[in-house]
Amino acid sequence: ADGSEPQKHLVNDFKEPGIVMGIHNLEKSIRSFAKSCIIYALSKRMDIWFATKDTISKEYHAYFKQIFQEEIDNHMDELLNAGVTYRYLLIDDAVAQMMKHEGGFLLALKNYDGDVMSDMVAAGFGSLGLMTSVLVSPNGQFEYEAAHGTVKRHYYEHLKGNATSTNSLASIFAWIGALGKRAKLDKTMELLEFARALKSAALTTVYDGVMTKDMT
């Protein structure tokens, strides 16, 4: 747009049929991603692990690593005050360490990596029906939702008269998260206590042996 010469890069000189994939991202969106992770980690007082593969993609992934570090540096005082630490790892190293870890940290991943790893973690804990999503914007807005899409499918099966086993825990926990966050924003302790009591009741129900067959 500024009238300068176009930049051209040779990807491959194809001598036979093949395929090319092109991806792009904007600095603004990468910073938004980093800020959202930091906001969420501060709200939960959880350490941050950011993982990508800059040894393979020396420019694209390295750009994510650079911007993430800049945003960490910009929020360093807040992170130190909250006792939140930051680590950068290669994605394969992060996966290996995560499998042996007790949890309790935020693993920041790009879209595809996040889709794969979140399902693996949920399945490792017994059921995708236990997974909730928390969407965080760079300006601190939160949205909580159940991450699985089984309820709609089960409802249609129910309408046909078929037996279903719908795990409602993810939906309940999404409400618990949303109500708890609203309570903290409004400083309404009664609502916060209700959210905590609801969480305790949900967990106690499962520990007492009342659960859907996917968890059994």
With residues binned 3-state (H G I as helix, E B as strand, rest as coil), the percentages for the chain, rounded to 5, are 55, 10, 35
Confidence category of residue 150, pLDDT binned at 50, 70, 90: low
Residue 133 has a pLDDT of: 84
**Which tens digit of pLDDT belongs to each residue from 67-106?**
999 999 999 999 999 999 999 999 999 999 988 898 899 9
- Is the CB of residue 115 less than 8 Å from the CB of residue 21? no
